[in-house]
């Protein structure tokens, strides 16, 4: 039985403004200058672990036209409204069960906007997780060996190996976004992985987890019957608390396993992450588009405007972006500050957000 793959494509990517905007967020962009968008890359990887007709993209209906343009042959599920990952996943689960899907079917949940360097190694890890989930009522994820004490990722504390030769471990605890000192302790211990945001579970195992740990969400989503009645679905769904699957279930569950990744991964959550993955010139600059750059070091410079050239001089450790509608000049490490800028832009100049 081929697994279902659900690709969540409703994120906003506000820390990547002005490249990522309300009308076209980062999953629909070619951020790494590869010729393919992040969504297209994710769908290509998904085809390595299931058949094309078993791939579903879930997102608000405002993005349906972009999804149809970029990946026309995949299925689309309209998310009633953004309510974070737990309601989104519960909604997808309810949808598949209502369509008569076998409860023992494995569902793989993937973010649409992540980077993976080796698709074959990725598929190998996912298939290990799929095979294990098929035979066990457990909740799975893919763990990334941490490179530094990040505070923006969840951490997975591994217990005994279940299948050592396949890098499959029992999970002791799941901690979402710890403070810096705790993150340092996690990394130093060598017993923790980053949570990649990829999940693997059988439909019946996931339903049981919602009933046990997120009853409020499940009680709401289980009321959904007619998925063609969009107004009623929206009215019901808006009552869901906006919470992540990490907080709602993964931190509470005691039947969690993890497969260690053997590939490089990034959630591309800020401009520094993009800079790190692009080629650099002799001055350490990563440059995309028409630009003239002098006396500048270790900066990310992107010009997406076809009708202009971007000139940069005497800068260091900067992110400098020019698009047809907006420009940004900020410290390359200021991801959260850019999110705050985006909030102000959306309030004062909503047409440019």
Per-residue pLDDT of the chain (353 residues), as tens digits, is: 899 999 999 999 999 999 999 999 999 999 999 999 999 999 999 999 999 999 999 999 999 999 999 999 999 999 998 889 999 999 999 999 999 999 999 999 999 999 999 999 999 999 999 999 999 999 999 999 998 998 888 899 999 899 999 999 999 998 888 999 999 999 999 999 999 999 999 999 999 999 999 999 999 998 887 888 888 888 888 899 999 999 999 999 999 999 999 999 999 999 999 999 999 999 999 999 999 999 999 999 999 999 999 999 999 999 999 999 999 999 999 878 999 999 999 999 999 99
Q: Which residues are CB-neighbours of 328 under 8 A, at least 6 positions away?
A: 17, 18, 319, 320, 321, 338, 341
Residue 145 is classified by DSSP as: -
CA distances from 31 to 99, 126, 260, 323 (A): 36, 24, 26, 13
CB 79 within 8 A of CB 59: yes
Residues 6+ apart with CB under 8 A from 60: 10, 78, 79, 80, 81, 82
Model's pTM, two decimal places? 0.95
Token pair of 182, please?
Answer: 């705790």
């Amino acid at each position: 039985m081929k697994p279902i793959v659900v690709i969540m494509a409703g994120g906003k990517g506000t820390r990547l403004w002005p490249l990522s905007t309300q009308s076209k967020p980062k999953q629909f962009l070619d951020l790494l200058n590869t010729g393919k968008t992040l969504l297209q890359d994710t769908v290509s990887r998904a085809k390595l672990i299931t058949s094309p007709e078993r791939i579903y993209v879930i997102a608000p209906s405002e993005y349906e036209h972009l999804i149809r343009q970029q990946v026309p042959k995949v299925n689309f599920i309209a998310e009633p409204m953004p309510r974070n990952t737990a309601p989104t996943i519960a909604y997808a689960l309810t949808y598949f069960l209502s369509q008569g899907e076998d409860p023992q079917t494995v569902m793989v949940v993937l973010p649409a906007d992540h980077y993976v360097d080796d698709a074959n190694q990725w598929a190998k890890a996912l298939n290990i997780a799929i095979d294990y989930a098929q035979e066990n009522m457990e909740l799975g994820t893919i763990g990334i060996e941490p490179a530094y004490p990040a505070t923006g990722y969840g951490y997975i504390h591994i217990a005994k190996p279940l299948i050592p030769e396949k890098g499959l471990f029992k999970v002791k605890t799941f901690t979402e976004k710890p403070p810096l000192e705790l993150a340092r302790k996690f990394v130093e211990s060598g017993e923790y992985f980053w949570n990649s945001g990829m999940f693997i579970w059988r439909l019946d195992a996931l339903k049981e987890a919602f009933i046990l740990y997120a009853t409020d969400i499940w009680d709401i989503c289980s009321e959904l019957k007619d998925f063609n009645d969009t107004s009623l679905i929206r009215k019901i769904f808006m009552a869901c608390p906006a919470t992540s699957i990490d907080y709602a279930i993964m931190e509470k569950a005691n039947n969690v396993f993890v497969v260690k990744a053997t590939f490089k991964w990034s959630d591309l959550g800020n401009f520094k992450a993009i800079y790190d993955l692009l080629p650099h010139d002799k001055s350490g600059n990563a440059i995309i588009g028409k630009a003239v750059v002098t006396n500048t070091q270790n900066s990310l410079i992107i010009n997406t405007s076809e009708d202009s050239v971007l000139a940069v001089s005497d800068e260091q450790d900067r992110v400098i972006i020019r698009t047809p509608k907006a420009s940004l000049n900020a410290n390359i490490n200021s991801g959260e500050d850019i999110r705050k800028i985006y909030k102000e832009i959306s309030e004062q100049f909503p047409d440019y957000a």
